[in-house]
Amino acid sequence: MSIQWSEKQQAVIDARGCSVLVSAAAGSGKTAVLVERLIRLLTDEKHPVDIERLLVVTFTNAAAAEMRERIGRGLDQKLLEEPDHTAWIRQKLLLPCAQISTIHSLCLKTIREHFEVLDLDPSFRLGDEAELKLLKSDVAEDVMETYYASENRAFRAFVDRYANGKTDQGIAEMIIALYDYSRGFPWPEYWLKHCLAAYSTDEEHNGADQVKEFAMMQLNNVLTKYLPLFEEARAFCLEPNGVEAYLPVIEDDKKWFQMLGESEDYDGSREILHKIVWKRLPRTAASVDPKIKEKVKEIHADFKSEIEGLRDGYFVHTFEELKAELTYIRPSVRMLIELTEVFGQQFMAVKNDRNMLDFSDLEHYMLQLLADFSEDEQGQMQVKPTSAADELSEFYEEVVCDEYQDSNQVQELILSLLSRERKGQYNRFMVGDVKQSIYRFRLADAAIFMEKYHHYALGESQKTRQRIDLSQNFRSRESVLSGVNYIFRKIMKKSLGGIDYDDQAALYPGMAFPEAKGKNIADNTELLFLKGDGETTEPDNESLDSVELEAKLAAVRIRELTDPEYGMDIYDGALGDYRKAGYKDIVILLRTVTGWAEKFVDVLASENIPSTAEMSAGFFDTLEIRTMLQFLAIVDNPGQDIPLAAVLCSPIAGISSEEMALIRSKHSEGSLFGACMACSEETPGAAKLKKFLAMFHDIRRASVYLELHELIRYIYDRTGYYDYVQALPGGERRKANLDLLRERAVAYAAGSYSSLFDFMRYIEQLKKNQIDFGEAVMPENDKGRVRIMSIHKSKGLEYPIVILAGLGKKFNFQDSISKLVMHAKSGIGLDAVNLQTRKKMTSAYKKFIAARLNLETLAEEQRILYVAMTRAKEKLIMTGMESLKNTDKKLEIWQRNSGILGEVFPDWMLTSARSYLDWIMPAVMNGEAENVVTFRMVDIRALAGREVGRVIDKKWQKEELLQRKHTLPDVSETDVSKRLFGEEAWQYPQKALLSVKGKYSVSELKKYAMEAIMEAAPAPGMALAEKQSETEEALPDFMKDKEADETHEVSNVGAFRGTAYHRALELIDFAGRPDERDEAWLRSQLNAMTSAGRLSGEQRQSIRIRDIADMVFSNLGLRMAEADRRHELYREAQFVMGVPVSALYPEVDSEETVLIQGIIDAYFEENGELILLDYKTDHVSKQDGADILKKRYKRQLDDYQQALEQMLQKKVRQKLIYSFALKCWIEI
């Protein structure tokens, strides 16, 4: 069935004879439209375009591969209709040769084809990112050494000003940073020259002019903000019970406000700012409404703070002083640029020696091939296309660029030179969405897209350049789009992000979801704000507990959404029908995964919600990589004590810490390796040490003739460590990490260096520069998991349910607070450092550049938020929290800002945001959003009541410890003690509650229930106290009963065996259980646990294989295995739940809550219901053992059932005990 394209989509597909810019909103089907357009070009009967003559540039290799595959499928479909169409057959055969690639792949191919023109060796290779970083560090050090040797005074002065204390490392970092940034421009040397020109006061529009213009704009923003606020403050003063005493102060503020508004130039405004004398707020009458008083006081304080911020920020100097400051800093800027240019030359020479290029070299060599550049008399660069550019532009019939909003200036110039536009033939086709431009850190320039967006004609009114907007969304429900549109109409405007979120930019529903009668489909977008009780004093909202609490909130909603009976129904296109949402349908999006994803995974796991997160870091922190790098370090140099000690104590050598101490104590002088070599055979651990040293010497000898990657493989095999890590938790990922280490060694050996010494230095430099490969990416064999990823990773993807978390996380303005700040148009900013006074001040020009960078950061954060919110197909849930100590104040500010009239928030409000909540909360708190965004404040205490065990445990630890404190009875009671503690003493009226602890284990409650069955019921509320006194009374050793000790030893043996059996059943791989009884398989499982250190040797010896086999190979063991293969078997599940005291003791009349804590041995899901399991090693007779166990553990399993049903909102269908004594399952 052919696709029904919308009118706008059809216009994109049919557009010919002009350059086209497609502004394709999220979910508008741009990829499908682009592919259809390409297929139509290839298969056009009248004017077909040969596939080799199409240039298609994509943002990633994955996108290029997908596009090639889609085109192939489209051609296959055409050939099904006309199998003998020779032209189409030819196009399909040529598809592998089509130029559908990233810009770097295009440059690489073109440069290799024209290597002789560029004087390049065609066998050049691309340098590894980490290798290039090391080279840059070395070259920067060489450059500085050369300048030190030359005794260059300007260089010495520069170092004195900008070095970090006693090290000049900061200088090298500045040089490398400026070099890297400059490579994002077509002519780096020209851009650096432009940077210096800003410090020349005789240049037009120099740095002082730019600071002046920006300062006046900032002043105007402040005045615009306070115009309505002063009227509001005045009205508050005149209200009944108003604060009239403050009116003169407000009027005085307004006077200064008006004077500043009437000032027309920079120096005049500066003079007024420095003249302002603030009046003090007087005392007020007792009858004044305190809320009104605080509001007026806050307006005055905020106005004063912002005006003083401007005065001390951009209006410190007169205009002449601004120019003088630039002149003073100019020599430092000139020296930094000189160092950067010399560095660039030497870095290129080093790369040439190694026949190596980096990605920026590909782009610049491509430009060198395509154009000659020269500077005209006005200092402007002139571009003259080369014959190669003419040849290539004639070859390509159309130049297509996907994700055009992420292009940089170099890439834009390359594509322009490859097109025919300079010849009057408009053959460019660009697709993108500026609202999704989120790669500024890669020097993507959204202004390139916006320049065309504003100048290309809509529709067909202009035949050379045409813009087509695709605003229909074929991904999401209207409820999702309504929330997105509402919020972005408020916060996205041209003055900040370069585009107004108007009717043309808004999203319109294009997806027709089938009717869902009787289904629980998604409703409004949700905003859930976590609010504390105002007494908690968290340091900030990113502390451990706050992240965990937000993860807990996500877990609560996930449980509700995936409830098999009451959960949400989603439409499954593959099924053609609705079904209940599952874990695989949910994604949690985070602004950054670092420091967040791990905690979300842990919290979800504690709630038995499976999840997966792809970490971008952590490779070097994994146990297996640390151990292997330490081993490589001692192979390179055994004289390193710390790595050697780590390897000796690892499973590779198996030396215990006690044995290590004895080895070292016998030979305390010299290196640890020397001590090991001198160790005698009588020393404990000598046999293990001798075996290790023999293996180690073999490996060192092999390292002389083995390649680096071969050596690593040899170490894996010789030590057995590669196989060992597979037996650890997460064994497959650990093995993949070791494979990745070997792959990195292969890539490294292909580079400039290849020795083990150089590789270890390379690794150390990676750590020093905080470069991390990230753990190995595992194929997702189990799709039934909640996915956790960064917003950047989610771009281009879609998910039925999106939970956008961490909205209170502060924006990162790091690039504006560095020692060196850089901006594409304004150049570079440095501090003003006076060597005579040893004072450093942030220069006005640096403040100006930093402010511009902050504005661009805010604009990109808006676009990142847009990307995140538009990933949802059916349901969008947003969560966030502020630092608890600031919550009330922030809520007041948001509430006040929500009352600002107008569809779009004013600039001052948008630019003052420091988190997504600063934009979203005012937008949803004014009541207008109630039909599109459901806003709820969630009390942290209410959330904690839903089994947030760790948070509650902190609260109760002290009380629990105090309750376990006992005092020996006084053997000589006095009359005073009788009066204090005897029958005459005053009796507390709620004495029953004194016996109630804050938290009980399920085992305790089971015990008390059993005793209540076996004995007569004691007085109400006193049973627990009496039993505690009987069982927990502290006695001196000499008073203890010897027979009781012997009984205790016997029970300890049983308890030890019980613990061992539980541990084994927790670790056994039920999913790999053979169909027939196989004790050898079970024995190998237990031995592997012991080898991996997960089961102690003593525990292993206490386990009788036949006991475990009877249980594992029972019929219920088979059901457990089947559940494990479905990933629905859960073992050792911890829980904490709150219950009223009256639920435990009906005779106690109290609403106090106590906690019940326990660990469920196992449970699994079967047909949407739960099967609860418990293992018992009690010694019971076969005659009445089953009845005894039922009575003994009924209360315990009832509590487990209550906990499971409360946590999972699912019914427990069966409760079973396995008795190892009876060798059977008993249903409770």
For the segment 1056-1079, what is each residue's pLDDT rounded down to a tens digit? 788 889 889 988 989 889 888 888
Kindly tell me if the per-residue pLDDT of 177 is higher than 70. yes
Q: pLDDT > 70: what percent of the chain?
A: 85
- Does residue 1049 sit in the same domain as residue 1162? yes
Place 1002 in a pLDDT band, splitting at 50, 70 and 90: low
- Does residue 1054 sit in the same domain as residue 1171? yes
Q: Name the residue among 863, 78, 942, 899 with its Cα closest to residue 501.
A: 863
255's CB contacts (< 8 A; 6+ apart) are none
Q: pLDDT by residue (tens digit) across 1174-1212?
A: 999 888 888 888 999 998 889 889 888 888 888 788 899
Residue 642 CA: distances (Å) to CA of 59, 631, 647: 45, 11, 9
State the Rg of the chain over Cα. 36
- Does residue 1179 sit in the same domain as residue 1221? yes
For residues 729 and 189, the model is more confident at 189
- Does residue 679 sit in the same domain as residue 742? yes
Q: Does residue 517 form part of some domain?
A: no
1181's CB contacts (< 8 A; 6+ apart) are none
Q: Does residue 1136 form part of some domain?
A: yes
Taking the C-alpha atoms of residue 250 and residue 296, their distance in angstroms, rounded to an integer, is 8
Residue 406 CA: distances (Å) to CA of 60, 360, 403, 431: 11, 16, 6, 11
Q: pLDDT by residue (tens digit) across 644-680?
A: 999 999 999 888 888 888 888 878 888 888 888 887 6
Kindly tell me if the per-residue pLDDT of 978 is higher than 70. no
Across-strand partners of 366? Answer: none
Q: pLDDT by residue (tens digit) across 402-423?
A: 999 999 999 999 999 999 999 9
Q: What is the per-residue pLDDT for 31?
A: 93
Q: What is the per-residue pLDDT for 1025?
A: 33
Tokens 């660029």: give the residue: 401
CA angle 239, 243, 247 (to 5 degrees): 95
Q: pLDDT > 90: what percent of the chain?
A: 51
Query: Which residues are part of a known binding site?
Result: 24-31
Q: What are the phi and psi torsion angles at 840 (to 5°)?
A: -120, 130
Q: What is the per-residue pLDDT for 784?
A: 83
Taking the C-alpha atoms of residue 63 and residue 69, their distance in angstroms, rounded to an integer, is 10
Query: Which residues are part of a known binding site for ATP?
Result: 24-31
Taking the C-alpha atoms of residue 268 and residue 219, their distance in angstroms, rounded to an integer, is 12
- Does residue 1176 sit in the same domain as residue 1210? yes
Helix or strand (DSSP H, E) at 101: strand 99-102
Is there a contact between 855 and 861 (Cβ–Cβ < 8 Å)?
Answer: no
Is there a contact between 686 and 678 (Cβ–Cβ < 8 Å)?
Answer: no
> How much is the average pLDDT of 976-985?
51
For residues 975 and 1153, the model is more confident at 1153
Which residue, of 890, 914, 944, is where some domain finishes?
Answer: 944
Residue type at 438 in one-letter notation: I
Residue type at 1045 in one-letter notation: D
- Does residue 889 sit in the same domain as residue 921? yes
Q: What are the phi and psi torsion angles at 1090 (to 5°)?
A: -70, -45
Across-strand partners of 1094? Answer: none
- Does residue 628 sit in the same domain as residue 743? yes
> How much is the average pLDDT of 497-515?
91
- Does residue 1082 sit in the same domain as residue 1185? yes
Q: What is the per-residue pLDDT for 949?
A: 33
Kindly tell me if the per-residue pLDDT of 1021 is higher than 90. no
CA angle 627, 631, 634 (to 5 degrees): 140
Three-class DSSP category at 667: coil
956's CB contacts (< 8 A; 6+ apart) are 998, 999, 1155
Asked which of 320-334, 582-596, 722-736, 865-879 is least confident by mean pLDDT, the reply is: 722-736
Q: How big is the chain, counted in residues?
A: 1228
> How much is the average pLDDT of 482-494?
95
Q: What are the phi and psi torsion angles at 1212 (to 5°)?
A: -85, 115
Which residue range forms the structural domain that includes residue 1158? Answer: 1038-1227
Taking the C-alpha atoms of residue 830 and residue 842, their distance in angstroms, rounded to an integer, is 7
Q: What is the per-residue pLDDT for 502?
A: 92
Taking the C-alpha atoms of residue 1180 and residue 1187, their distance in angstroms, rounded to an integer, is 10
Kindly tell me if the per-residue pLDDT of 164 is higher than 60. yes
What count of other Cβ atoms lies within 10 Å of the Cβ of residue 413? 21
Which residue, of 914, 944, 974, is where some domain finishes?
Answer: 944
Q: Name the residue among 804, 24, 876, 873 with its Cα closest to residue 477.
A: 873
> How much is the average pLDDT of 895-908?
81
Q: What is the per-residue pLDDT for 260?
A: 92
Looking from the CA of 701 toward its CB, the CA atoms found within 13 Å total: 7
Q: Which of 289-303, 866-880, 1015-1029, 1092-1106 has the highest mean pLDDT?
A: 866-880
Q: Name the residue among 416, 420, 421, 450 with its Cα closest to residue 433.
A: 450
Kindly tell me if the per-residue pLDDT of 21 is higher than 50. yes
- Does residue 192 sit in the same domain as residue 215? no
Kindly tell me if the per-residue pLDDT of 1022 is higher than 50. no
Give one DSSP letter per residue of 198-229, joined into a string: TT-TTSTT-HHHHHHHHHHHHHHHHHHHHHHH
Asked which of 465-474, 531-540, 632-641 is least confident by mean pLDDT, the reply is: 531-540
Kindly tell me if the per-residue pLDDT of 519 is higher than 50. yes
- The enclosing domain of 670 has a CATH number of 1.10.486.10
Taking the C-alpha atoms of residue 921 and residue 933, their distance in angstroms, rounded to an integer, is 11
For residue 57, give both structure tokens: 């540039």
For residue 1012, give both structure tokens: 């209540």
Taking the C-alpha atoms of residue 677 and residue 691, their distance in angstroms, rounded to an integer, is 12
Kindly tell me if the per-residue pLDDT of 900 is higher than 90. no
Place 942 in a pLDDT band, splitting at 50, 70 and 90: low
Is there a contact between 270 and 250 (Cβ–Cβ < 8 Å)?
Answer: no
Q: Name the residue among 957, 833, 718 with its Cα closest to residue 331.
A: 833
Q: Does residue 636 form part of some domain?
A: yes
> How much is the average pLDDT of 992-1010?
54
What count of other Cβ atoms lies within 10 Å of the Cβ of residue 810? 14
Which residue, of 904, 922, 944, is where some domain finishes?
Answer: 944
Kindly tell me if the per-residue pLDDT of 1016 is higher than 80. no
Place 350 in a pLDDT band, splitting at 50, 70 and 90: very high
> How much is the average pLDDT of 916-921?
96
Taking the C-alpha atoms of residue 16 and residue 562, their distance in angstroms, rounded to an integer, is 49
Three-class DSSP category at 501: coil
Give one DSSP letter per residue of 496-560, joined into a string: HHSS--STTTS-EE---PPP-TT-----SEEEEEEE--S----S-TTSHHHHHHHHHHHHHHHHH
> How much is the average pLDDT of 485-506?
92
Q: Does residue 464 form part of some domain?
A: yes
- The enclosing domain of 602 has a CATH number of 3.40.50.300
Q: pLDDT by residue (tens digit) across 787-797?
A: 999 999 999 89
Q: What is the per-residue pLDDT for 907?
A: 87
Q: pLDDT by residue (tens digit) across 685-696?
A: 788 888 999 999
Q: What is the per-residue pLDDT for 751?
A: 63
For residue 1150, give both structure tokens: 């109290």
Looking from the CA of 206 toward its CB, the CA atoms found within 13 Å total: 20
Is there a contact between 324 and 298 (Cβ–Cβ < 8 Å)?
Answer: no
- Does residue 1078 sit in the same domain as residue 1203? yes
What count of other Cβ atoms lies within 10 Å of the Cβ of residue 1148? 19
Taking the C-alpha atoms of residue 944 and residue 946, their distance in angstroms, rounded to an integer, is 5
Q: Does residue 519 form part of some domain?
A: no
Q: What is the mean pLDDT of the chain?
A: 84
Q: What is the per-residue pLDDT for 1154?
A: 66
Total count of domains within the chain: 6
- Does residue 795 sit in the same domain as residue 929? yes
Q: What is the per-residue pLDDT for 376?
A: 81
Is there a contact between 531 and 939 (Cβ–Cβ < 8 Å)?
Answer: yes
> How much is the average pLDDT of 317-335?
95
- The enclosing domain of 1088 has a CATH number of 3.90.320.10
Q: Name the residue among 41, 716, 91, 718 with its Cα closest to residue 398.
A: 41
Kindly tell me if the per-residue pLDDT of 267 is higher than 90. yes
- Does residue 347 sit in the same domain as residue 366? no
Kindly tell me if the per-residue pLDDT of 243 is higher than 80. yes
Q: pLDDT by residue (tens digit) across 422-474?
A: 999 999 999 999 999 999 988 899 999 999 998 897 765 567 899 999 999 99
Q: Does residue 793 form part of some domain?
A: yes
Taking the C-alpha atoms of residue 969 and residue 549, their distance in angstroms, rounded to an integer, is 45
Kindly tell me if the per-residue pLDDT of 106 is higher than 80. yes
Place 259 in a pLDDT band, splitting at 50, 70 and 90: very high
For residue 36, give both structure tokens: 């259809």
From first CA to last CA, the distance across the chain in angstroms is 57
Residue 9 CA: distances (Å) to CA of 176, 449, 512: 45, 20, 17
Kindly tell me if the per-residue pLDDT of 951 is higher than 60. no
Q: pLDDT by residue (tens digit) across 553-601?
A: 999 999 999 998 889 999 998 899 999 999 999 999 999 988 898 889 8
Place 965 in a pLDDT band, splitting at 50, 70 and 90: very low
- Kindly tell me the number of DSSP H helices and DSSP E strands found in the chain: 50, 32
Q: Does residue 520 form part of some domain?
A: no
382's CB contacts (< 8 A; 6+ apart) are 373, 374, 375, 376
Residue type at 546 in one-letter notation: S
- The enclosing domain of 172 has a CATH number of 1.10.274.50
Place 940 in a pLDDT band, splitting at 50, 70 and 90: confident
Taking the C-alpha atoms of residue 657 and residue 655, their distance in angstroms, rounded to an integer, is 7
Place 1092 in a pLDDT band, splitting at 50, 70 and 90: low
Three-class DSSP category at 466: strand
Q: What is the per-residue pLDDT for 185?
A: 94
Instruction: Kindly provide the residue ranges of all beta strands, DSSP E only, lying in 851-947, ordered along the sequence.
Output: 872-881, 933-939
Which ranges in 151-187 belong to alpha helices (H)? 153-162, 169-182
Q: Does residue 976 form part of some domain?
A: no
